[in-house]
A and B are shown apart, each in its own frame.
Chain A
Amino acid sequence: MTLTQLLLLLATLAFAGGAVHAFVAFKAGRWHQSRWQWVLILVGFALQTGFLYWRGKEVGQCPMKSLPDILVFISWSMVLLYFLVGSAYRLSLLGVFTGPMVAGLLALSAVLPGAFDPYPAKAKIVALVELHVAVALVAYAAFAMAAVTGVMYLLQERMLKSHRIGQMFFQLPPIRELARAILRLVLLGLGLLSVALGLTFALEPSVAVTGSKVVFAWGVWGLYAVIAVLMWRHVMSPRRMAWLAVAGFILPFVSLWIVS
């Protein structure tokens, strides 16, 4: 087992372990916020960062070229956003909801055919292209976090509507706060994706990012622009908006497969 494989395995275990622990605690009615959950996510994040660093060394460039690498980078960005967004909005359970998704993405990246094979060396590394890809992937991570927050909203809303007040109900934030967090995450993702796409105009024609990747990226931008306007203008109910944030992530997620 190589160092990168080991780091990836440990990171997956850290996130999966945190998720399983939370699930078991919820089932037993003993879940409570503790610093250990936060520490476990921090450890997972450090391992992910280690993976990206060593993987970058292996392939001699930013590891964002193959689908498995892209999935790891997106999951790393999600955890980064969790640290920023989770504390800003006091979304106490965001870590619990993010953990399984991150563990799932990491596990998926490891089992994909040709996972973490070496890349052909790049003739020339253009910083702007690397920046464009990195910012676009962080934007996708923001959309993923909007989807995670959307799931939290839908659960909380369901419990409120059906009068089924379980242990999770008291841990989840108010739905109005969740609705705001979804909007802000969508706006954050949209802003980042705009920057990433804007960078393509600054590239020389010889290295300009073209083809299906950019077409899909513009497609994703268009979709989230519409979602953002609908949310901003309160055209639909927050519940439908949450569904849109969850379902909307299907396009960027699937597009990763198509363009890779």
Chain B
Amino acid sequence: MASTAELEKIVTQVRRDIVRQVHAVNSGHPGGSLGCVEYFVSLYFEIMKHNSAKFSMDGINEDLFFLSNGHISPVFYSVLAHSGYFPVKELSTFRKLNTRLQGHPTTHEHLPGVRIASGSLGQGMSVAIGAALAKKLNKDNSIVYTLHGDGELQEGQIWEAAMYASGKKVDNLICTVDMNGQQIDGSTDQVLPMGSLRAKFEAFGWDVLDLEKGNDIASVVATIKKAKEHTGKGKPVMILMKTEMGNGVDFMMGSHKWHGVAPNDEQLAQALNQNAETLGDY
């Protein structure tokens, strides 16, 4: 078990990786990525049983993770690299021609750690349900995790999947929604108010947990551990995780404007100043 301090060190380095990746190609999605760093670090360095040294697509007897909101690829890639799925220096190829680190995650270039393409929103929960059903057929009691954006819940397929998961008792599944309240055109309330997501998922038959401090690593670890205790009880588990978009970089925090915009040189320097190098830059 890693200490909170050790996990926080990783968090800081991942933040640096995110802004550096996006800055280098002047494209990508830093805001949502920064908001989910603690979640990814908790999952890959504390919670999941997974084999990064020897990646297998089938992941038999491993916990699996599916990123449904694929645009936050910078955080996914950084955490996969630091977990040992591929060399950290490969982060320098993000979004460049011939890279395995495509703008949105994909299996097409065989990047270890990625099991499905995502980017077109709303598809990851269905895929995760399929993987969870395969685990049940294989008598594999590992857990399948997904992450979704809150804006992504506006896609209809999510609700097809939500209905299925509870109706068919897919209870080896822990989904998390990143409730940063922002999407491209503004706040989720401005774009399409979604009301109470807790009420919605409960009405759909899910076991719902709130994570008020999605950017506090100890809270994230504790809540996912609690969610694990809720698996195997006939219901899929949902974590509603409140985060701050752009967390850890003050000028990016709390605004939808940094959804898909890269920092300039000066802004990069400022962001890096706020997050000291801990594990070594790529």
Whether both chains belong to one complex is answered with no
Residues of B bordering A, CB below 8 Å: none
